[in-house]
Amino acid sequence: MAEIEFKSVAKSFGKVGVIAGLDLKVDDGEFIVFVGPSGCGKSTALRMIAGLEETTSGDIRIGGRSVTGLAPSDRNVAMVFQSYALYPHMTVAGNIGFPLKMAGRSAAEIAQRVKEAADILDLGPYLGRRPAQLSGGQRQRVALGRAIVRHPEVFLFDEPLSNLDADLRVSMRGEIMQLRERIRATMIYVTHDQTEAMTMGDRIAVFAPLKDGHTHNLMQVGTPEELYERPANLFVARFLGSPKMNLIEVAEGQTPAFGALDLGARPADHGGALLLGVRPEDIRIADASEPGLAGRIRLVEALGAEYYVHVETAAGELIARVMDKRLRPTSGDAVALQPAPGAFHLFDKTTGHRIAP
Ligand SMILES: Nc1ncnc2c1ncn2[C@@H]1O[C@H](COP(=O)(O)OP(=O)(O)OP(=O)(O)O)[C@@H](O)[C@H]1O
Ligand SMILES: [Mg+2]
């Protein structure tokens, strides 16, 4: 059993706070993804679990046991980094077996565990090669192998794929998912690639940087669908989704609407300014004679399978994502924009909190 628990964890470097008020429980065997912009403390959070960085206050527990004050080697945690830092003079087998050698295991046990890791990662044919004789993806697999041989209860991945080209990232993403099926361990995966976050995680934890004025890092934790469909605040709404969610200001006293289309009453106890959010795929482009938010198409980006259509309106420029290729939107056309029924979000402009639906 290796659930991981952050209890009121804070971390400062000198006077600069990086992590504050972090409370999070990762279940045993769960695969959770940490996402957030650069500098929001993702790596710091992982390094505190691994024991490479001390907490300033609060407690971290692994399997119900406090690890504060425990040496990294006593935590049964393996970490895989972006730079895989293999030993160039050692073979693949030597690199994978290195942590066991350092731990003083017998040659027979090392050989056995290296073989087992190589089988899982399809590295069998390469065991005698040196890192320079491998592709980037194979090298990253060796780095994974070096973590697997230790049989850790917890795997921490810090942007392990960001050095790889786009194709390789996709195939390695699949391999890590398969690895996850074969090895029951608790896994935390850091990335700022939202496709990775959406496709890999049982749950996603979205972090914000304290330096931008946030009093705590964790903006929302939930399944990918929950975060995408019901973002708890503007930060999460803006962070997940590409193109980004459209946000339209609803002034004090106004009702959320797309032109003549009312989207329902303003929540009774909310007097101030609101932001109405609609995702690009939830905007339909209708003929200018239909009801909706009037606009003119400024730009059409053709992506092959779909179009991103930029429409100038009185509420600013909105982006609609059009998957129906028969529509062929054209730059300069006058149109009316209509939101899909029920597919909108309302946020308090000042606090950023979701208020409806
Ligand atoms: N040893 C250190 N001393 C001082 N400041 C540090 C140290 N390590 C990290 N920081 C600062 O802490 C903040 C969080 O860093 P961290 O590496 O955890 O961010 P991150 O979310 O992993 O970012 P990225 O996505 O760029 O990897 C940054 O502002 C960074 O400059
Ligand atoms: Mg980092």
Q: List, in order of start, the domains of the chain with CATH numbers.
A: 4-233 (3.40.50.300), 242-356 (2.40.50.140)
Tally Cβ neighbours within 10 Å of residue 100.
Answer: 21
CA of 82 to the centre of ligand 2 (A): 9
Predicted local confidence at residue 183, as pLDDT: 85
Which of 35, 40, 211, 239 has most ligand 1 atoms within 8 Å of its beta carbon, as the pocket-test mutant? 40
Question: How do the residues of the chain divide into helix, strand and coil, expressed in percent and rounded to 5?
Answer: 30, 30, 40
Give the CA distances from residue 299 to residues 283, 284, 296, 330, 347, in Å, rounded to whole numbers and listed in that order: 16, 16, 9, 8, 28
**HSE-CB of 272 using CA atoms within 13 angstroms:** 9
- From 214, 174, 190, 176, select the one nearest 81 (Cα to Cα): 190
Residue minimizing CA distance to atom 30 of ligand 1: 39
Nearest ligand 1 atom to alpha carbon 211:
29
Nearest ligand 1 atom to alpha carbon 42:
21
Predicted local confidence at residue 6, as pLDDT: 98
- From 103, 100, 84, 9, select the one nearest 49 (Cα to Cα): 9
Phi, psi for residue 44 in degrees, rounded to 5: -60, -40
Predicted TM-score of the model (pTM):
0.92
- Spell out the alpha helix ranges (H) of the chain: 42-50, 92-102, 107-121, 136-148, 166-182, 194-200, 224-229, 234-239
CA of 37 to the centre of ligand 2 (A): 9
CA of 84 to the centre of ligand 1 (A): 19
CA of 224 to the centre of ligand 1 (A): 25
What is the spatial distance between Cα 26 and Cα 6, in angstroms, rounded to a whole number? Answer: 9
Predicted local confidence at residue 39, as pLDDT: 93
Nearest ligand 1 atom to alpha carbon 46:
18
Does the CB atom of residue 246 touch ligand 1 within 6 A?
Answer: no
Helices 136-148 and 92-102, axial angle in degrees (round to 10):
20
Name, in order, each residue with C-beta under 8 angstroms of 100's C-beta and a sequence gap of 6 or more. Answer: 109, 110, 113, 114, 149, 150
What is the spatial distance between Cα 277 and Cα 345, in angstroms, rounded to a whole number? Answer: 5
Predicted local confidence at residue 356, as pLDDT: 83
Predicted local confidence at residue 333, as pLDDT: 96
The two tokens of residue 192 are 């700022």
What is the spatial distance between Cα 96 and Cα 51, in angstroms, rounded to a whole number? Answer: 22
pLDDT tens string for the chain (357 positions)?
Answer: 699 999 999 999 999 999 999 999 999 999 999 999 999 999 999 999 999 999 999 999 999 999 988 999 889 999 998 887 899 999 999 999 999 999 899 999 999 999 999 988 889 999 999 999 998 888 988 999 999 999 899 999 999 888 888 888 888 888 888 888 888 899 999 998 888 999 999 999 999 999 888 999 999 999 999 999 999 999 999 999 999 999 999 998 888 999 989 887 777 778 889 999 999 999 999 999 999 999 999 999 999 889 999 999 999 999 999 998 787 889 999 999 999 988 999 999 999 999 988
Does the CB atom of residue 40 touch ligand 1 within 6 A?
Answer: yes
SS3 (DSSP) at 259: coil
Nearest ligand 1 atom to alpha carbon 53:
1
CA of 323 to the centre of ligand 1 (A): 40
Nearest ligand 1 atom to alpha carbon 190:
22
Which of 15, 18, 188 has most ligand 1 atoms within 8 Å of its beta carbon, as the pocket-test mutant? 18
Q: Render 158-177 in DSSP notation, one character per residue.
A: ESTTTTS-HHHHHHHHHHHH
